[in-house]
Amino acid sequence: MTRVVLATRNAHKVAELGQILGGLGLAIELVGLDAYPDVPEVAETGATFAANALLKAEAVAAATGQPAIADDSGLCVDALNGMPGIFSARWSGGGGDAANLDLVLAQIAEVPDERRGAAFRCSAVLVVPGHVGEVAEGEVRGRLLRERRGTNGFGYDPIFVPDGESRTTAEMDAEEKNALSHRGRAFRALAPMIERALR
């Protein structure tokens, strides 16, 4: 059983990715970066989700000698030309999830309902030491509410209603959310590449 390192210290993400990948029957043991406290933080200086995910996975694979999986993802708001995008986690300049969400709501406060479309996007990456990385993408489109609904999930989940749904992703349980989420889609698309690369 190959040990694969998830290149994140975000406990929410470790749990979510564990759930998504755990259900796919891969012969891998998943561990978070908590198992490698000495791996330094990587500056996410890429211009795209894929570039940032590659930066993270490459650094972790190099530091640990193990295959590494990373993702970079975010909320792309139509009325903000696709932003916050790669800056989703630090949109307010360091204020955390609640401040980031409040800022987006304030920025598009006057944007009418018909222009409140948005998408969650995710690039998921596998890097095997000494090999080129594999990249998979996932997206879920929807629209943004004017106030929070629901307490599950994290990040911008409380204001995001996927197309065809009436609830926010923060009003869904983890299984429902993973079935349609950008991260669920990206990692399910990555699964066959993981299987092939680690065979």
Enumerate the active-site residues.
72
Look at the chain and count its residues.
Answer: 199
**Contact with a copy of itself (CB under 8 A) among 14, 111, 145, 189:** 111
Q: Is residue 36 classed as helix, strand or coil in its secondary structure?
A: coil
**Contact with a copy of itself (CB under 8 A) among 32, 67, 74, 85:** 85
Q: Least CB distance from residue 142 to a copy of itself, whole Å?
A: 19
Based on CB atoms, which residue is closest to a copy of itself, 147 or 173?
147
**Contact with a copy of itself (CB under 8 A) among 47, 130, 147, 166:** 47
Instruction: List Cα–Cα distances, 33 to 42, 66, 77, 146, 152, in angstroms.
Output: 12, 12, 30, 36, 24
Is residue 102 close enough to count as binding a copy of itself by CB under 8 A?
Answer: yes
121, burial (CB in 10 Å: exposed 0-12, middle 13-18, buried 19+): buried
Distance in angstroms (rounded) separating the CA atoms of residues 50 and 76: 14
Is residue 44 close enough to count as binding a copy of itself by CB under 8 A?
Answer: yes
Single out the segment in contact with a copy of itself by CB under 8 A; choices: 20-28, 87-95, 120-128, 145-153.
87-95
Is residue 36 close enough to count as binding a copy of itself by CB under 8 A?
Answer: no
Is residue 146 close enough to count as binding a copy of itself by CB under 8 A?
Answer: no
Give 196's Cβ-side CA count (13 Å radius).
9
Single out the segment in contact with a copy of itself by CB under 8 A; choices: 28-36, 78-86, 154-162, 182-190.
78-86
Q: Which residues on neighbouring strands pair with residue 124, listed in sequence order?
A: 71, 136
Q: Least CB distance from residue 8 to a copy of itself, whole Å?
A: 18
Q: Is residue 174 classed as helix, strand or coil in its secondary structure?
A: helix
Residue 191's contacts (CB-CB under 8 Å, 6 or more residues apart) are: 21, 24, 26
Q: Least CB distance from residue 43 to a copy of itself, whole Å?
A: 6
Which positions touch a copy of itself (CB under 8 A)? 43-45, 47, 79-83, 85, 87, 90-94, 102-103, 105-107, 109-112, 115
